[in-house]
Amino acid sequence: MTMNISREITISNKLGLHARAATKLAILATEFKASITLIQGDKQASAASVLGLLMLESGIGKVITVQAEGPDAQQALDAVCQLINDKFDEES
């Protein structure tokens, strides 16, 4: 069964969605059989595209929508949101 779900989340790490964080997110996104999209305002990017993620210019405090569609959309959405909530494992 294919699901299409989304969740709003706030970027909380100091540097926002910078190169290292975007790379971690892109690697994670490729582990799922789901299409994951991040949306901020009128911009959107595939979670599997580092360049696309950087072009969102998501800084600390920005609210983004994470959207997942596919057979394991729920697991993908949960994992991406967990990575963002964990501040991309950058801060203790």
H-helix segments, the chain: 19-29, 50-55, 73-85
What is the Cα–Cα distance from 52 to 24, expressed in whole angstroms? 13
Q: 81 near 55, Cβ under 8 Å? A: no
Residue 18 annotated to the active site = yes
Please tell me which residue in 7, 18, 24, 87 is annotated as part of the active site: 18
Closest among 6, 57, 67, 10 to 36, alpha carbons compared? 67
The radius of gyration of the chain from alpha carbons, rounded to an integer in Å, stands at 12
- Annotated active-site positions, please? 18
